[in-house]
Amino acid sequence: MGAGIRILAAALLALAAVGGATAQLRQGYYSASCPNVEAIVQAAVALKVQQTPVAVGATVRLFFHDCFVQGCDASVIIVSSGNNTAEKDHVSNLSLAGDGFDTVIKAKAAVDTQCPSPNLVSCADILTMATRDVIGLAGGPAYPVELGRLDGLVSTASNVDGNLPPPSFNLDQLTAMFAANNLSQADMIALSAAHTVGFAHCGTFTGRIQTAAVDPTMDPGYASQLLAACPAGVDPNVALEIDPVTPHAFDNQYFINLQKGMGLLTSDQVLYADVRSRPTVDAWAANSSDFQAAFVAAMTNLGRVGVKTDPALGNIRRDCAVLNS
C-alpha cells in the first residue's frame, strides 16, 4: 500500500470513528426510558434561573469548558479527590460560577426523582439540555438537542492545559483552537456571542484599560466606564457583565457592541478589529435571525465534540460530581 493510500485510509477510519460516535447521538434518545426528561430538566432549570439569574451565563460557560476538554462528558463537574486534581480546579476553571454546577446538580436530582428509575440519564446530557434551556429562558433560540452521551471516566487538571482559549487570543489562535475541535470560524464567532449573557473578571481585561495605554480598538468612553468599575488595585475577581447594554437577554447585541468598540475582552473585540471576521460580525449585528440560526448550528456542532457513547469509555454517573465507584 502506498503512503498516500495509507494516509487516506487512516483519515477515512478517523472520520468513521467520529461519525460513528455522532451517529449514536440522536433527538429523543430517552423517549423509551424517560420520555419526559426534557420537560423535567426544563422545569428544574427554570426554577434555578428564577432563583439565581446568573445561572444563565454560568451554565453556558460550563458547557463550553466541559466540551473543549476531553469532549462533552461532564468531566468538568467532577470534584478533586485523593491525589487527583480534577479539571474543575485548574486555574482556567476556577472562575466558573458555582451556579452553573448547581443548575446541573438540581436538574440531575429532578431527573432521578421523576424518571421511572434513577440513573437513566447522563450528566453530560443533562448539561446539554440545561444549556439549551437557559438560553431559551434568556430569550435565545429554542432548538432540539441530540442526546446519548455517556459521562467521562477521567477528570484531570492537566488535561485542561492549552485546550481553553484565553481572553488574549487573536483571530488565528481562536480559529485554530476551534478547528482542533471540528468547529469552523463561523462556529467560533457564533459561540463567542454567548458572552451576551456572560460575566468577566477585572483581571481578564485590565490590561486594555490602563489610562496610559488604552487599547485603541476600545471605545474611550467604554474604557473609562470599565476603569471606574475596575480601578488600579481592585480585586481581580470582581466580575462585570460582558454585554453592558442588554446583559440579561440572549440577543445579537454582542455584535452591535463590537461595532462600537465595546467588546470587553481582546478575544471579543478582535472579531471586529480583524477584517477577515468583520463581515460576519456586521451581518449578524444587522440580522438577528441569521445569527440565531448560526448559533443553533454551532451549538449542535459543539455538542458533538469528543462525545463518548461506548460503555468502555463512559457511564452514567450516579452523582455528577463523583466518579462511580
Q: What is the pLDDT of residues 103-153, one digit of tens each?
A: 999 999 999 999 999 999 999 999 999 999 999 999 999 999 999 999 999
* Among 65, 90, 201, 248, the one annotated catalytic: 65
The secondary element (H helix, E strand) that includes residue 253 is helix 253-259
Q: Which of 1-10, 188-197, 213-222, 230-239 has the highest mean pLDDT?
A: 188-197
For residues 66 and 155, membership in a common domain is answered with: yes
Please give the pLDDT value at position 213.
Answer: 81
Closest among 33, 175, 48, 146 to 101, alpha carbons compared: 48
Tell which of 159, 184, 218 closes a domain: 159
Name residue, grid cell 483519515: 11
CA distance linking residue 92 with residue 157, whole number of Å: 9
Helix (H) or strand (E) holding 227: helix 220-229
* One domain, residues 151 and 184: no
The per-residue pLDDT for 19 is: 40
Residue 219 counted as an annotated binding residue: no
Residue 267 labeled ligand binder:
no
- Do 137 and 188 reside in the same domain of the chain? no
90 is catalytic: no
Residue 224 CB contacts under 8 Å (≥ 6 apart), including other chains: none
- Of 97, 155, 93, 98, which is closest to residue 124 (Cα–Cα)? 155
Same domain, residue pair 265 and 202: yes
Query: Do 153 and 40 have their domain in common?
Result: yes
Residue 243 annotated as part of some ligand binding site: yes
CATH number of the domain encompassing residue 180: 1.10.420.10
Residue 251 annotated in ligand binding: yes
What's the burial of 319, exposed, middle or buried (CB within 10 Å: 0-12/13-18/19+)? middle
Tell whether 233 is in a known binding site: no
Answer yes or no: is 46 within a domain: yes
- Answer yes or no: is 23 within a domain: no
Residue 241's region, left for phi above 0, alpha for psi from -120 to 50, else beta, is beta
Q: Give the residue numbers spanning the domain of 194.
A: 171-286
Reported residue count of the chain is: 325
Is residue 7 one of the residues assigned to a domain?
no
The type of residue at 47 is L
Q: Is residue 213 part of a domain?
A: yes
pLDDT tens digits for 40-75? 999 999 999 999 999 999 999 999 999 999 999 999
Q: What is the pLDDT of residue 15?
A: 38
175 in the same domain as 149 = no
pLDDT score, position 232: 87
Last residue of a domain, one of 159, 183, 217: 159
Rounded average pLDDT over 143-171 = 97
Question: Is 85 among the annotated ligand-binding positions?
Answer: no
Judge whether 80 lies within some domain: yes
- Within-domain flag for 304: no
Q: Is 278 a domain residue?
A: yes
Domain boundary among the residues 138, 159, 180 is at 159
Same domain membership, residue 236 and residue 137? no
196 is in an annotated binding site: yes
- Does the annotation flag 151 for ligand binding? no
Domain count, the chain: 2
Q: Give, in degrees to the nearest 5, the angle at Cα 252 between 247 and 253.
A: 50
195 is in an annotated binding site: yes
Mean pLDDT of the chain: 92
Cα angle for residues 67, 68, 71 (degrees, 5° grid): 50
Q: Please indicate, yes or no, whether residues 122 and 182 belong to a single structural domain of this protein.
A: no
What pTM does this model have?
0.91
Check pLDDT > 90 for residue 1. no
Q: What is the pLDDT of residues 71-112, one digit of tens each?
A: 999 999 999 999 999 999 999 999 999 999 999 999 999 999
Give me the percent of the chain exceeding a pLDDT of 90: 88
Same domain, 101 and 65: yes
Same domain, 142 and 119: yes
The answer to whether residues 151 and 252 belong to one domain is no
Cα 218 to Cα 260: distance, rounded to the nearest angstrom? 8
Report the half-sphere exposure of 142 (CA within 13 A, side-chain side).
3
Phi, psi (rounded to 5 degrees) for 319: -125, 120
Number of other residues whose CB lies within 10 A of the CB of residue 223: 19
Supply the CATH number for residue 116's domain.
Answer: 1.10.520.10
245-276 tens-digit pLDDT? 999 999 999 999 999 999 999 999 999 999 99
Looking at the fold, whether 72 and 145 belong to one and the same domain comes out as: yes
pLDDT of residue 306: 97
Q: Is 57 inside any structural domain?
A: yes
Window from 18-27, 81-90, 239-248, 275-284 with minimum mean pLDDT: 18-27
Q: Does residue 11 surpass a pLDDT of 60?
A: no
Strands 151-152 and 199-201, bridge-based pairing: unpaired
**Does 248 carry a binding-site annotation?**
no
Which grid coordinates are listed for 217?
A: 480598538
